[in-house]
Structure formats: C-alpha cells, structure tokens
Structure 1
Amino acid sequence: MPRSKKSKARGGEKHPEAEGKTQSCGGAQAIAAAAEEESTTSSLQCKDTTQSLPGAESCSTPKEPRRGPTIATTAVFSRRTRLSEAFNSQHEHTVFAYEVPPFTETPGSNCLTRKASLLEQLLLYKYNMKQLIMKEDILKIIHRSHHDQFAEIVKRASERIELIFAVDLKEVDSVVPCYNLVSKLKLPNNGRVRAGRGLPKTGLLMNLLGMIFLKGNCAAEEDIWKYLGTMRVYAGRKHFIYGEPRKLITKDLVRLKYLEYRQVANSDPPRYEFLWGPKAHLETSKMKVLEFLAKVNDAVPSDFPAYYEEALRDEEEKAQGMDAARPDTTVKVNTPPKDTLSITTPPMVKYVKFFPPDKKI
C-alpha cells in the first residue's frame, strides 16, 4: 500500500479512549444542533410571541375536551425524529431510542410543542447518561428567543416524561441551577432496577400496580401479559427499555418485593397471579396509583367512583394503622386530692437601701 494511503488510514482510525470521551457528549451535541436548526424556523412562526406566558396564546396548545372515564394504559406509538442519531450507538447498553406518544400539534401551536419535544429528548439523554441536567443546557435547547417561556416548556416536557416513565423533574441545586429525573418509587439506581445506564422502569411498575388494583387487587398472569401487549411489551421478546420483560417482572420486581408472584391454589396445569408486594404497599398507595392512571387518561381519580372509594378507604385504613402504631406520648399528671392541695407563695423579698459611704444618714 502506498505511504500516503497508509497515513490516511491511520489518521481515520479512532482511539478507543477518544471514542469513549466523545460518545457521552455526542447525543447532547446532536440535540443542541437540532434545537439550533429548529429555532431558525420556529422563530418565524412564533415571531409575535409576547413576553409573558399568559399572553402567549399563539404558541400554546388549546385544551382538548376531557376524554371519557375509561382507564387504559399509556398508548405507545413509534415516533421517528431527526434526533434519532442522538439515541443510537454501536454498544447495546447505550441505546437511547424510545417510543412515546407524539405531541398533538395544531396550527399556531408548533412553537412550544417543538421546544418541549427537543427538551424531552435532552432530559432522557441526560438521565440515561446518569448526568445532572444543567439549566444552561436547557436554555440552549429552548433558545434565547423563548427564554421568557422557560417554565411552560419545561412543564410540558416534564409532564410527558412523568406520564410515560413515572419520574419527576426536580431541582437538586439552586446555587448552580440543575435538575434530575427522580423515580416515583424507590427502585434501585433511581428507577433503573439494575446498575448501569438505561431508562427508568418505574412507569412499567406503576402500570402493573394499577392493573392489579383494577383487577380486584389480584391479577392473573394471562391478564397482565394481555394488558402489557397494548404497550407492545411481550414475554420473551426483548424490549429496548425494559430488556427481557418476563425476567424483569417475575424475577427482578419480585426479588425487590414490589410484586408478589404466586401459583393459583389447586390449579392444574399451574397458573400464576400477581399481587402488590410489601415494598409497593410501603412506598405508594392505591390513591397514588389511581392518580397516575387518571392523569394518563386526562381525568381525575373521582371520575372512577368505585376505585376512588376503595382508594379512600385504603387511605383511611393506613392512617388508622399509623395512629395505632404511634407510641402514646400523653403525659399523665397525678393531681393531689383537693383537700390536700396547697398553694406555695413565693418567698418575701426584702429590699435594702444602700447609701454612698460619704453620705451621712
């Protein structure tokens, strides 16, 4: 091979260390680049945006009528965006692609919608890389022309992530403003179940707890898998977020005591069912799970009267149990009989008047 070709070939090879350093920031750079590109077009569409959120109606999505009170799992649809390169890697443990319900875009509302979508990608990328989310990075995504709408854009992105992954965006440092996505349940590794990178499994667990609750606090295994099929989660088929679902549900979450997996009594051939585990009872409640399911369905818990009443009874029972378990701290004072009660008066104080030594009395 000629010398020039060899030198070019060597120059094109990446050193493993250099590749590792660039991999962690490549996704964020791609997102930022897409945000910069998007801002040049969306700024024209939202040119007349006012300086305060209440008046920025031209860039807000109008409220849709509330859907009927039917509980259903989070619908998961495939969505391809130009940011896909930020969520792909040669290594299996750093695959960031995920599927979420698409934003509903209407004419005149694309401005905040697109910004929230870009921010959503950044939040999940940072979570997966186990990095804090700096406010300055968020501002880069939003672009300076929309900084006055920071709170609204962050609210939209964080609410969608909450509905899908059951994690909350929380500020962890106010001195150097930064945020983190925090799991609603105390799963290991902040919702990842196992050590390492990955997206949270809390959303799947909350859906499972909800399904068990709706099935009378005990759900047959076949019903669970039928339910998960609506989320495109199938037993024996590796999922890009949850890995091998059967292992996660029947092994990991059972080992962590969030689920109980037992054989149905006297079943032949053997059948199995799921119940809430002790950790689930400790860290959440029927009311919180119902609130999560209701929010997914753009409703409120009271829209489902039977389940709402059961959740209220559960709250009352837990409160009574806590009161019963609380030690009695009442101080009992033994009061002497009335006829022996004596009143102690303070001792009389004698006041002595002092005169200066040189003064004659």
Structure 2
Amino acid sequence: PAPPSQTLSAAATSSSPQAAKGRSSPASAGAAVSCANSDESAKSQDEGSQQSSKGTEFSRRDPLNKKVVLLVQFLLQKYQKKEPVTRADMLKYVIKKYKYHFSEILKRASEHMELAFGIDVKEVDPIRHCYALLSKLDLSVDGTMREEENTPKTGILMIVLGVIFMKGNCAREEEVWEVLNLMGVYSDKKHFIYGEPKKIITEDLVQLKYLEYRQVPNSDPPRYEFLWGPRAHAETSKMRVLEFLARVHDTVPSAFPAWYEEALRDEEERARARAAARARITAMASARARAVASSSSHTK
C-alpha cells in the first residue's frame, strides 16, 4: 500500500489543489491487520508473502505497531461478538508489559478502527474505563447482512463515499479503484479484510442502496461510475464524510474550502427539509385535532 498521506489525497489531486498532511490511513491499517495474519495466507496465496514482508517492515519501524495490530484484532473480535471492552482486558490480553504506552497504542488502534473499518472507539465510563465500539453506519438495518460482514463493508463504503464526494459527487469506476489500489485493495483479488471488494462495491452496497452503480452514457466499450445511493444520503451526510476525510489528513473540514462550502449547503438543505417535514406533521396533527373537536361538538 502507498504511504498514508497518499491514499485519499490521490483522489483529490484532480479535484482540489489543497495540500494535506499525512496520517495513519486505511492503507496502513489494512497492511497492519493483514500482516498479523500473513503467515496463514502465505500458505495459499503469493500475495500473502508480500503482505508479510510489508507487515514485517511495518512492525520493525516501531515496536508499538505490533501491539497496535493485536489491539485492532482484539477490538474487531469484541465488536463482532458485541462484547464489552474494558481497559483492564486490553492491558491483560494485549498490551501486557507495554502498559506505560497504553494511551498511545489505543490512540493508534482507534485511528485504524475508524479509518479502515468505520468504527469509533469511545470511552463511555471513565470510572471503570469501559469503551463502546460504534459503527459510523448501521448496515444491518434491514437484516440482510450478518454482523460479521458489516465491519469491512462500512469501512470500504466510507472510502468510496469520500472518493465520490471529492470527484464532484460522481466518480468513474477507475477513479475509485485507483484509490483502493493504493490501499492494497484490487478488484480481481480477494482481500483479507474486505473479502471480495468488487462484489462489495458493485453488488452488495448497490443492492443495499448505499451506492448507485451505472453505465456512463454513450460509453463504448461500456464504462461505469458511482454515485451516492439513497440510503447513504439518508444515513450520513457530506459533512460527516468530509469530517472523516479531514481526520485522514489530520486537519479540519474547513481546510478544504470548496468541499466545506458544499457540505455546509448540504447541511442547510437538510435542516430546511427537516423543518418542512416537522411543519407538515404539526399541521396535520392540528387539523386532526380540530376535526376531532368539531366532530365531538356536533355529537353533543
């Protein structure tokens, strides 16, 4: 995978000249988690050995990275099993003799969880040091997806939504794969974290209405493009995706003026739509109350 600072900024190159500082990205998170399992995958796939060498280099650069990898795996297991997460368990089963580096290891692992899997790690009980693992999008609302499938789909969806937004709300398929390739995710290769990426983004997330995948008009041979689907518009927003992208680049949403202005307009439109909906509901309730009152007065 490419260096962290290049993963999503590559998608922005032709869309915005704004520079952004690098930070741990889905690329590094994917490499880290892959490295911890590369011994097994190498037995069956050539790319497994490649992941192993990259993962070894990743760990050698900083001895804490190995603990970050293990903690990410630990948190993913807890998330999939819907089990509580405590500081005591993390120290006992993962951190061990590195307890004095707990805060730094947890910080890095939390960044990987957010950027690679779309999961926020939040401390919900500062006294007992209990943590909640919260998905940025609930992909199991309609009950069509198993819980263990949600994690990778949420992570890759946030990346694709970000690329679409950066490309003017419509991204060609090759532009999406350009970014995913930088993360070590390829359309023709099964990925340890994401499974079958092409199936996820061109079928699964399309069927769930999170993405729209359509042929480019008059393209011959046929080419395809991605747009946000109706559920993406309903369950997230341009501002939330921009906040995600800003965290990738270790900055704030306003550091990207053009996208920030568009996200603000989107927020204003959403606020007006909510206000209009509330007004309609209030008007309907008032009309019904008057009708009931009128009917009641006639019967007396």
| Superposed pair shares fold, TM > 0.5 | yes
Worse overlay, 118-127 or 218-227: 118-127
Q: CA deviation at 1:264?
A: 1.8
Q: CA deviation at 1:79?
A: 4.5
Are the equivalent residues in 1 in contact too, given 2:140–2:147 (CA < 8 A)? no
In structure 2, C-alpha distance between the alignment counterparts of 1:167 and 1:219, rounded to whole Å? 24
Do the aligned partners of residues 201 and 295 (structure 1) sit closer, same or farther apart at CA in structure 2, a change above 3 Å counting? Answer: same
Do the aligned partners of residues 86 and 219 (structure 1) sit closer, same or farther apart at CA in structure 2, a change above 3 Å counting? Answer: same
Q: Does 1:254 align with 2:182?
A: no
Gaps of 5+ in 1: 1-66, 91-96, 333-361
In structure 2, C-alpha distance between the alignment counterparts of 1:288 and 1:222, rounded to whole Å? 24
The residue aligned with 1:69 is 20
Q: CA deviation at 1:238?
A: 0.9
The residue aligned with 2:109 is 157
- Which residue of the other structure, out of 119, 124, 128, is the alignment partner of 2:71? 119
The residue aligned with 2:169 is 217
Do the aligned partners of residues 259 and 116 (structure 1) sit closer, same or farther apart at CA in structure 2, a change above 3 Å counting? Answer: same
Question: Normalising by the residue count of structure 1, what TM-score does the alignment of the two structures yield?
Answer: 0.58
In structure 1, C-alpha distance between the alignment counterparts of 2:161 and 2:271, rounded to whole Å? 21
What are the residue-to-residue correspondences of 1:93-172 with 2, within 5 Å? Answer: 102=58, 116-128=68-80, 131-140=83-92, 141-143=94-96, 146=99, 153-170=105-122
Of structures 1 and 2, the one with the larger relative CO (CA 8 A, separation 6+) is 2
- Which residue of the other structure, out of 213, 233, 237, is the alignment partner of 1:285? 237
Q: CA deviation at 1:207?
A: 0.7
- Which residue of the other structure, out of 244, 255, 276, is the alignment partner of 2:196? 244
- Which residue of the other structure, out of 295, 320, 323, is the alignment partner of 2:247? 295
Which amino acid letter does the alignment assign opposite residue 226 of structure 1?
A: E
The residue aligned with 1:349 is none
The residue aligned with 1:195 is 146
Do the aligned partners of residues 103 and 166 (structure 1) sit closer, same or farther apart at CA in structure 2, a change above 3 Å counting? Answer: farther
Q: CA deviation at 1:75?
A: 3.0
Q: CA deviation at 1:104?
A: 10
Q: CA deviation at 1:114?
A: 6.4
Are the equivalent residues in 2 in contact too, given 1:262–1:274 (CA < 8 A)? yes
Q: CA deviation at 1:303?
A: 1.4
Gaps of 5+ in 2: 1-17, 44-50, 287-300
Do the aligned partners of residues 82 and 207 (structure 1) sit closer, same or farther apart at CA in structure 2, a change above 3 Å counting? Answer: closer
Are the equivalent residues in 2 in contact too, given 1:172–1:178 (CA < 8 A)? yes
Which amino acid letter does the alignment assign opposite residue 171 of structure 2?
A: A
Are the equivalent residues in 2 in contact too, given 1:71–1:294 (CA < 8 A)? no
CA-based RMSD of the aligned residues comes to 4.3
Do the aligned partners of residues 124 and 313 (structure 1) sit closer, same or farther apart at CA in structure 2, a change above 3 Å counting? Answer: same
Pair member with larger Rg: 1
In structure 1, C-alpha distance between the alignment counterparts of 2:67 and 2:202, rounded to whole Å? 39
Which amino acid letter does the alignment assign opposite residue 164 of structure 1?
A: A
The residue aligned with 2:279 is 327
What is the aligned residue count?
A: 256
The residue aligned with 1:186 is 138
In structure 2, C-alpha distance between the alignment counterparts of 1:297 and 1:269, rounded to whole Å? 36
In structure 2, C-alpha distance between the alignment counterparts of 1:84 and 1:269, rounded to whole Å? 39
Q: CA deviation at 1:117?
A: 5.0
Do the aligned partners of residues 81 and 218 (structure 1) sit closer, same or farther apart at CA in structure 2, a change above 3 Å counting? Answer: closer
Q: CA deviation at 1:121?
A: 3.6
Report SS of the residue matched to 1:326.
helix
Report SS of the residue matched to 1:287.
helix
Q: Which runs of 4+ in 1 moved over 4 A?
A: 70-73, 79-88, 97-106, 112-118, 149-153, 171-178, 328-332
Do the aligned partners of residues 128 and 174 (structure 1) sit closer, same or farther apart at CA in structure 2, a change above 3 Å counting? Answer: same
Identity %: 52
Do the aligned partners of residues 87 and 287 (structure 1) sit closer, same or farther apart at CA in structure 2, a change above 3 Å counting? Answer: farther
Do the aligned partners of residues 176 and 200 (structure 1) sit closer, same or farther apart at CA in structure 2, a change above 3 Å counting? Answer: farther
Are the equivalent residues in 2 in contact too, given 1:134–1:177 (CA < 8 A)? yes
In structure 2, C-alpha distance between the alignment counterparts of 1:300 and 1:130, rounded to whole Å? 32
Do the aligned partners of residues 286 and 68 (structure 1) sit closer, same or farther apart at CA in structure 2, a change above 3 Å counting? Answer: same
Are the equivalent residues in 2 in contact too, given 1:258–1:279 (CA < 8 A)? yes
Do the aligned partners of residues 79 and 185 (structure 1) sit closer, same or farther apart at CA in structure 2, a change above 3 Å counting? Answer: closer
Which amino acid letter does the alignment assign opposite residue 235 of structure 1?
A: S
